Structure 1
Amino acid sequence: MKVGEFEVDVERKKIKNMHLSVYPPEGRVHLSVPEHMTDWDISTFLFSKLGWIRKQFKEIESQPRQTEREFVTGESHYLFGNRYLLQIIPDMHLGITLTTNFMEMHESKKQTRAERAAMLFTYYRNELNTELEKMMTRWLPIVCPDMEGIKWEIDMVLRRWGQCYQSQKRVVFSLLLARVPCRCIEYVVVHELTHFHVREHDENFTRLLDTHLPDWRARKQELDNFIALALPEK
């Protein structure tokens, strides 16, 4: 559904009230509505919120973004919240290694920007997969003790840090989580697993988060501070 200059994803659910959200990094507008609500009522509500939507979208647009990565020596890259300076090193053995301050990218021949990007994202995927394995092993029995068969995966193109597909018993995590601190990744894990019990971000959802992860608000704030690492490059 379109309101003003915005396309709105409208989702009908078994809920009593409407829930309107504007999500970073690209300002996606989503509206959850009760199943019985008419298109006219939905449209009327959205037009009444147009000013609010524009304000949220403007705030997202004003957030800093990384400059385009060239994958050259001296460039900054992040892993689990730590900043490293990239070093391109001629070597017979391909791969990435870390020192205290440097991310060393070993290549047997000079690679293109796309090839270096692919190498880094493969490295990110492997590192993030290891962390998520540990976190899911820890938190699944705590948050979802009576659920079996929950699967998870990592997606490069996901527009959110994470997404819970309740009916499919599946959670998808953004590859860009590899750039943020592990305590923030853990918050995303608990957040998405909680959605298997409560779809909306309502009082019940907050209460469950408070129970399982009492400091989740601080972790969320820290994660928000890293949003520039997930925003599209200028």
Structure 2
Amino acid sequence: MRLGKVSAISFDLDDTLWPFRPSVERAEATLHSWLIEHAPNTASVLPAWHTLGRLRDEYERSRPDLVNDYRALRIGSIRLALELAKEDVTLTDSAYDAFYSARQQVEFYEDALPALAWLSARFPLVAVTNGNADLRLTGGAEFFRETLSARALGIAKPEPEIFHAAARAADVHPTDLLHVGDDFHLDILGALGAGLQAAWLVRQNHLETRFLEHCARSPHLTIRDLSVLCRALGGPAELSAGQFRIT
């Protein structure tokens, strides 16, 4: 795909700017330790930290109305664990605070911060996330004009309205907004369906050829890291993930 006029860029966060799984695993391990210390009977319900994820998934299946509210789902699953363990459910909010604080400890991909610095000097940037990461806590907020979350808006990707809200936040027409993300359905098809341009970030090379051929039918840019995006938008050839020069 050849990019059209790009006046602003919106970014997904998890698995686009940093790997999602390590931060959640760290947060669940922190939450597990907190619960064992402050509500010891939860050990019978949560014998290991990774059982927290299974309990959360189980709670989500019982509450499809909360599918896009990650905070409510996590709080509900913590309360459930405390109830099952016959512990004090008033500990729920404090337990969630421990989880949430650890959740914001992310490790940016090598190319992410240099790319954001280069891009933010040239384009308004807006973050668009279905998750609960907070750029003010993870770092990187200085590069963005605004962060739009599914929970705050009550609208989640791939719905067109959240992308249109990003265009308004950047003060551009949707056709002039380029959305960058790792999830082909939520980010790429969602953005294209809303009238935006899209760049699919594929950091891993293990995708099936058949899937890539299917995706190739959609008019989007495919990039392996954000330095490629910078070059596509006029950056110098020496920009690379390993040796990123900001000019």
TM-score range, shorter chain: under 0.3
TM-score by length of 1: 0.27
**Larger strand share, 1 or 2:** 1
TM-score by length of 2: 0.26
Higher relative contact order (CA 8 A, sep 6+): 2
**Larger helix share, 1 or 2:** 2
